[in-house]
Amino acid sequence: MAQMNLLHAINNALDIAMTENERTVCFGEDVGYFGGVFRATSGLQEKFGKVRCFNTPLVEQGIIGFANGLASQGSVAVAEIQFADYIFPAFDQIVNEAAKFRYRSGNEFNVGKLTIRAPYGGGIAGGLYHSQSPEAYFAHTPGLKVVIPRNPYQAKGLLLASIRDDNPVIFFEPKRLYRASVGEVPEEDYQLPLGKAEILQAGNDITLLAWGAQMEIIEKAAEMAATDGISCEVIDLRTILPWDIETVTQSVMKTGRLIVSQEAPLTAGFASEIAATIQQECFLHLESPIGRVCGLDTPYPLALEKEYVADHLKVYEAIKHSINY
């Protein structure tokens, strides 16, 4: 075991993936010599050479188009998009190409060996173009997997699983936690399962569900609720698509209440999808309406970030509201 922050854990996972397979390649804007603007690919060019870890020109559609071609050829493509906010020029290559490559060709060709890494989320005074959480756009696209880790241990295990998974995976990294989140991480190879949620804390009164950096927030709200004698079951969804309906359903069957919290705006966010499915699965077990605690339906602000975000106090209020319904 070693103490690693989230960036170290990602760097370590990439190192393992590149060591085990000579055909694994990491690239993106500033990824090569400099090691990425957040330094997630630090040292990889030095260790594996310029052919396998390199800077690309500044063109996201090119990066993902290139990655699609490379993956379809059988190489393992790990592409970095510098900020999730800048993934949109590559939207076509992701949504129309990567996601449909296998289906449209009858699996003559596929890009299962593609992984896209991108830092996402707010809380860094980044304003509207360095704070977005765009997971829902991609969750609306059959053929993609979407994974979001909450801490260094999760990041390493889930990233290795994403790289080895035979489907295109978008791996969103909570950049607010890059250096802030530090924990014990095994130095050796391990994997955590995709498509599996994790119960962090068992409880009886209400289920709290989130992913990525938002986990901290709901854990803090759960602590506040505990002082009121409310027992929360806290779940990290981990994989947004395809998501672990079973774990969440079982939990809500037990607690009868659910709050889903996300950083992204409320309307058509992934919390809405979860609410609809759980309402269907658990209708007769629900004691109160499923709550969603999310960002406002506006672009991500700067000066009023504190007011905008789905913070622990808003989650705590939602818990009380649900319990007292």
Binding site for other proteins (CB under 8 A): 29-30, 32-34, 37, 55, 57-62, 85-86, 88-89, 125-130, 266-267, 296-299, 301-304, 306-308, 311, 313-314, 317
Centre a 10 Å sphere on the Cβ of residue 33 and count the other Cβ atoms it contains: 12
* Angstrom distance (rounded) from CA 155 to CA 171: 9
* Angstrom distance (rounded) from CA 154 to CA 3: 13
- Choice among 60, 80, 219, 233 that is catalytic: 60
Residue in the structure block whose two tokens are 């999310």: 294
Binding residues for ligand TPP, rule: CB under 6 A, are 29, 58, 60, 82, 86, 89
Chosen from other proteins, ligand TPP, none, partner binding at 247 (C-beta under 5 to 8 Å by type) = none
Name which of 86 and 190 has its Cβ closer to ligand TPP.
Answer: 86
Closest CA to 55 of 45, 70, 66: 45
Residue type, 96: N
* Angstrom distance (rounded) from CA 122 to CA 9: 21
Active site residue 130: yes
Name which of 57 and 74 has its Cβ closer to other proteins.
Answer: 57
Residue type, 93: Q
Name which of 29 and 236 has its Cβ closer to ligand TPP.
Answer: 29
Question: Would you call the peptide bond into 301 cis, given omega within 30 degrees of 0 as the criterion?
Answer: no
Q: Closest separation between CB of residue 69 and ligand TPP, Å?
A: 20
* Angstrom distance (rounded) from CA 179 to CA 203: 30
Q: Closest separation between CB of residue 86 and ligand TPP, Å?
A: 4
Name which of 108 and 307 has its Cβ closer to other proteins.
Answer: 307
Active site residue 273: no
Closest CA to 261 of 313, 306, 209: 209
Chosen from other proteins, ligand TPP, none, partner binding at 69 (C-beta under 5 to 8 Å by type) = none
Q: Closest separation between CB of residue 161 and other proteins, Å?
A: 30
